[in-house]
Structure 1
Amino acid sequence: MRNLVYFILFLVVFIDGIYTLLTDQTFYAIPLLIFSLIFGFHFLYLGRRAHSVGVRNSFAFFALLIFLYLIIFGGSTGLGIVWLVLLPVFLFSLFGKNKGTIISLTFLIIVAGYLFGLSTILPLVYKYTLPEKIIYSSILLAMILITYATYHTFSEVILNKELRMLNSQNFNKTQEELISKLSHQIRTPLSNITGIIDILEKTNLSDDQRDYINTIHASSNNLVNVVNSMVAATTTNFSQIPDEEISFNLYATINNTIKLFQEENDKKQFDLSLSADIPNSVIGNSIKVKQIFLNLLNSILKYNKSESKQVTIEVTRKETLPNKLVLKFRIVSNTIIPLPKDELKEEAFYAKEIIRLNTNKYINLLELGITQKIIEMDGNQLDIFPGSVNTAFEFTATFKENLKSQSINSIVEPSKQSGNFFKPKVDMADANILLVEDNFSNQQIIILYIKNEVQKIEVAFNGKEALDKFGKTKYDLILMDVQMPIMDGFKATQKIREIEKSTGTHTPIIAVTANAFPEDKEKCMAVGMDDYISKPFQPEDLIKKIKQHLSS
């Protein structure tokens, strides 16, 4: 806007000068052309430094000088009136609202003094009629007032907008810091809990004990998902659910989950039935099944306002594919789920096709977002069909038929190259690993995770101690915490990478941290770490990453 005003003012003077030159009015032409050259020089060269006080003053001086010349000598094209309109805009753009107002009003007084005083007695100058004097003075005054009002309104709006934006940014930053701190504080003990659960699962347990452990595991997974949703509203990380598939009794798993919701003398009635063509034992993820049913039954009973609650669970075989068993789960409850009236269409309420379109609304209402994502992980979907009497929940899940009644280990993904550095592959059992962690409990948990796979593990309590050990011992891999006293994991990683530049070596570093924001992972990678895993995590995930980087 400012440059446009400069250009128009320059153009006015230049056109006036050329016109007077062509009409042989040399007396007017020479000063106008000189002024246009000076103003053009300001526009093209000094305009780049328009924020300089000296340049602004020079701009203003020549602009006012040109305007006075046009007022005194009248000009020959009549374009001088353009200066009346644009001069206040020009001055305000140079000096701002307050100083621009003072300079403009001062100049208005000078111009009015000339028009109503000196212009009547000075010889060889343009003689103004009384109407012209009033019009010129009025236009200049009006433009000063309009420009002031515009700048005042604009500055107030911008100021308020920036203030609101600043307050919003400060609030969001405070909220993010609070959530980040809370997430970190929750993840550390939660990681220890899930770690102990994983270790207990690998011990000799009775069927009842194993079922209790699975229930705790599923509940802790739900808590982990809640924490994840705090730091990433758009995506939820479900890597804490074990990938391994085991042989388990589907009926017993669902039935044991139902027992958690049954109390003495309550009026809940559950009916569980599996079709006859479903085998007793299937191969799949029993914890995931229990987690889904925990969430669904909790939401169903929470929104069931009936005095006598009835829940029917039917499991049928949907289809049998090569090496796959696809089962359909249908849960029907005397639960009525109302949506706001403006979201309902009475004539289509019972139409299955329309209800399917509203599934996401019901999922949000019942707080089943996490459950939906768990189901969708395997390419399935959750459907909700509300009716006037009952509400039905349907989803499918894929299993394998248990032909040999034994566990199946997860297939390890092919390893990826983590860098361009040459180094021999190292078996995990022979690896020398440095664990950098300041929390003693966390140290013990991670050591318990990997001690059966790794024979040699050394511990450093902070980044400084890790650097000292790194300078004396060759390690095949480093597990690095991020938040530590004396020297954090970021600084320690940078120092290690600087040392390695002179030796041409590269030691894989995996960040093991409770910081779970997306930018935390980016920061870990930016300082030179090779991988990242956030607490809580499954032992299998950590071991998988270690094997990947030792063999890459």
Structure 2
Amino acid sequence: MDNKDKVDDEEQNSLLINNLINFFLFCIVFIEGMISLRNENNFYAFPLLTLSLVFAFHFVYLTRNSKARGMQNSLFFFSSITFLYFVVFGSSTGIDIIWSALFPPFIISLMGMKRGSFLSMLFLTIIAAVVLLVNEFGIIAYSKQYTLVEKVVFLAFYLIFFITTYAIHYTYTEIILRKERRVLDSQNFNKTQEELISKLSHQIRTPLSNITGIIDILEKTNLSDDQRDYINTIHASSNNLVNVVNNMVAASTTNFNQIPTEEVSFNLYSTINNTIKLFQDDQEKKKFSLSLSADIPNNLIGNSIKIKQVFLNLLNSLLKYNKSELKTITIEVTRKELLPDKITLAFRIISNTVVPIPKSELGENAIHSSDVIHLNRSKYINLLDLGITQKIIEMDGNSIEIIPDSVNTTIEFSATFKENKKSQSIESIKPPTKQSENYFKPVVDIADANILLVEDNFSNQQIIILYIKDEVKKIEVAFNGKEALDKFGKVKYDLILMDVQMPIMDGFKATEKIRQIEKSTGTHTPIIAVTANAFPEDKEKCLASGMDDYISKPFQPEDLIRKIKKHLS
């Protein structure tokens, strides 16, 4: 459980206990006061009815001011006075001794087990002293005289209530601690497993990249038919192994509860648009369209990471299963309903992805029936690998609908945010004027380019050099980010190929420092991340650190050369 959520739960539990104690004490004191008033016993009626008003005020004030401080101590003070009043003066009903014996349950529930137990014993000592003064010396006027039997009964009830309450709270605390310990152990285990699988994935991808790279080079040499057949078999097996690694990592990330729950102010349009950019490359023809209704505020308060995760998964699935030459995705966001301080938005994603519908299961005449589609939603979710996405959406009380037909697939879901009072709606936002870059990027022919390769693994260095040596003549190598910075300060490079995980200084830190240096010189050197971290969020992290592009291992030599040419031109 998140620490913030835990604190909120504890505050809510404390508030509930305080209100229950307020209400119960109000009922006891008010009933005793009314009975005394009916019996025309003003000595009891006036102070008891006054105390009932005090408890009523506490109840109303705490209900309207849940964050009020000092109310707990105030409630303890007036509760102690009430119970002490019953001990000293008694009551009209004659059951005052029972009310006084209820002090331990009230105080332990109010102040906690440790402080409540101490105060309960202190209160018992005070009561013993008061009763002694009353019975032996009679120095308190109108005080009640207790018989020995009443004293024994009171002491027995007091101790029974104290021991019972302490035992219940102790047991409850132990149960909660054990539950939290199990949850923590489970989270630590899951985290360890995910880190292990992520590490294994990275370690497997690196040699796989080298294997596929050598295979690509061998395929371009003169081979006999048998040799080419063997190479093709190795290539296919390598590709299958890459798929196995992808599936293994995907399975390890099903613990969606690890998504941070912190709510921040964010721009919804920018969040979705930046997610779309992660899927835009030159390898496939894609067309994206994003529109937000004009009544949606520019900035919302909510979990932007969760929204980004949902769109990453949805877009990845729709593009993965789209067999069209031109892949089109339209995203529409509209306001669904407006609640006090909350906004519910409806998201609609339309793609020309055709979901394969099993006719044998749906029936010949009902393939596109909306009722059948709704009933078979789980089948579409499985076909598109959206099980995790469904859970992320539903954990906030929302739902996801998938509506396929013979041409398109439509996905609809909703999400609730808090309204940012300082935000404007997008209809009042003017498009930003495009500013000219403060640096000049001349066109460089790849054959004349001076490229810095930052890679700590010697084998990986050799493979990448083999990939590009026919196109690039000038290649320098740095074994870590620190060495890359030293070289960058002495030599002008046209492009940098940057590994991410390296000793001494990693690729992220090196990129940030290079960008800081370039701010003072007004220059910009393209940096392409070459890494075994192969998921959309990894690409986003690379771009956020200041890198210009990203390519994951294993990759085709042509893909790397194409990216180099793109950024040199």
The TM-score by the shorter chain falls in which range?
Answer: 0.5 to 0.7
Structure 1 residue 480 displacement after superposition: 1.0
The Cα offsets for residues 56-112 of structure 1, whole Å up to 9 and x where unpaired, read as: 778655542442134323467999899758743443245532443343245346547
Structure 1 residue 505 displacement after superposition: 4.1
The Cα offsets for residues 478-526 of structure 1, whole Å up to 9 and x where unpaired, read as: 2111222221112111212222333444433222122346654444334
Matched, 1:540 2:540: no
Q: Which residue of 2 aligns with 1:199?
A: 217
Alignment of 1:245-264 (within 5 A): none
Is 2:86–2:100's contact at 8 Å kept on the other side of the alignment?
no
Q: TM-score, normalised by structure 1?
A: 0.55
Q: Which residue of 2 aligns with 1:370?
A: none
Q: Which residue of 2 aligns with 1:448?
A: 466
Matched, 1:101 2:100: no
Alignment of 1:27-46 (within 5 A): 29=46
Q: Give the AA of the match of 1:101.
A: S
- The secondary structure found in structure 2 opposite 1:434 is strand
Structure 1 residue 211 displacement after superposition: 1.6
5+ residue gaps, structure 1:
245-320, 323-350, 357-374, 378-418
Matched, 1:434 2:455: no
Identity %: 61
- Which of 152, 173, 191 pairs up with 1:155? 173
Q: Which residue of 2 aligns with 1:494?
A: 512
Q: Which residue of 2 aligns with 1:228?
A: 246
Q: Which residue of 2 aligns with 1:6?
A: 18
Structure 1 residue 450 displacement after superposition: 2.0
5+ residue gaps, structure 2:
1-12, 255-278, 285-323, 326-357, 364-382, 386-434
Measure, in 1, the Cα distance between the counterparts of 2:93 and 2:128: 22
Matched, 1:473 2:491: yes
Measure, in 2, the Cα distance between the counterparts of 1:18 and 1:194: 89
Q: Give the AA of the match of 1:150.
A: I
Alignment of 1:96-495 (within 5 A): 96-108=112-124, 110-111=126-127, 118=134, 121=138, 122-126=140-144, 140-233=158-251, 353=360, 421=437, 423-424=440-441, 426=443, 429=446, 430-495=448-513
Matched, 1:64 2:76: no
CA shift in 2, pair 1:5/1:166, >3 Å: closer
Q: Give the AA of the match of 2:89.
A: F
Is 2:134–2:143's contact at 8 Å kept on the other side of the alignment?
no
Is 1:511–1:532's contact at 8 Å kept on the other side of the alignment?
yes
Measure, in 2, the Cα distance between the counterparts of 1:530 and 1:47: 48
The Cα offsets for residues 338-395 of structure 1, whole Å up to 9 and x where unpaired, read as: xxxxxxxxxxxxx994799xxxxxxxxxxxxxxxxxx999xxxxxxxxxxxxxxxxxx
Q: TM-score, normalised by structure 2?
A: 0.53
Q: Give the AA of the match of 1:6.
A: N
Is 1:5–1:90's contact at 8 Å kept on the other side of the alignment?
no
Q: Give the AA of the match of 1:4.
A: L
- The secondary structure found in structure 2 opposite 1:528 is coil
- The secondary structure found in structure 1 opposite 2:477 is strand
CA shift in 2, pair 1:101/1:420, >3 Å: farther
Measure, in 1, the Cα distance between the counterparts of 2:563 and 2:253: 22
Q: How many residues align?
A: 379
Q: Which moved more, 1:475-484 or 1:87-96?
A: 87-96
Structure 1 residue 5 displacement after superposition: 3.6
The Cα offsets for residues 212-232 of structure 1, whole Å up to 9 and x where unpaired, read as: 111111111122222222322
Is 2:134–2:145's contact at 8 Å kept on the other side of the alignment?
no
Is 1:28–1:75's contact at 8 Å kept on the other side of the alignment?
no
CA shift in 2, pair 1:94/1:221, >3 Å: same
Higher relative contact order structure (alpha carbons within 8 Å, sequence separation ≥ 6): 1
- The secondary structure found in structure 1 opposite 2:251 is coil
Measure, in 1, the Cα distance between the counterparts of 2:210 and 2:506: 21
Is 2:134–2:144's contact at 8 Å kept on the other side of the alignment?
no
CA shift in 2, pair 1:448/1:197, >3 Å: same
Measure, in 1, the Cα distance between the counterparts of 2:524 and 2:444: 17
Is 1:533–1:542's contact at 8 Å kept on the other side of the alignment?
yes
Measure, in 1, the Cα distance between the counterparts of 2:206 and 2:102: 65
Structure 1 residue 167 displacement after superposition: 1.7
- The secondary structure found in structure 1 opposite 2:505 is coil
Q: Which residue of 1 aligns with 2:107?
A: 91
Measure, in 2, the Cα distance between the counterparts of 1:517 and 1:192: 19
Measure, in 2, the Cα distance between the counterparts of 1:79 and 1:508: 85
Is 2:451–2:496's contact at 8 Å kept on the other side of the alignment?
yes
Measure, in 1, the Cα distance between the counterparts of 2:244 and 2:159: 64
Measure, in 1, the Cα distance between the counterparts of 2:527 and 2:102: 64
Measure, in 2, the Cα distance between the counterparts of 1:491 and 1:21: 78
Is 1:10–1:40's contact at 8 Å kept on the other side of the alignment?
no
Q: Which moved more, 1:188-197 or 1:88-97?
A: 88-97
- The secondary structure found in structure 1 opposite 2:530 is strand
- The secondary structure found in structure 1 opposite 2:515 is helix
Structure 1 residue 445 displacement after superposition: 0.9
**CA root-mean-square deviation:** 5.0
- The secondary structure found in structure 2 opposite 1:232 is helix
Measure, in 2, the Cα distance between the counterparts of 1:71 and 1:142: 18
Is 2:101–2:154's contact at 8 Å kept on the other side of the alignment?
no
CA shift in 2, pair 1:184/1:549, >3 Å: same
CA shift in 2, pair 1:199/1:69, >3 Å: same
- The secondary structure found in structure 2 opposite 1:511 is strand
The Cα offsets for residues 139-194 of structure 1, whole Å up to 9 and x where unpaired, read as: 65454344323322221221111111222222223223322332232222221111
Structure 1 residue 27 displacement after superposition: 8.6
Measure, in 1, the Cα distance between the counterparts of 2:120 and 2:384: 68
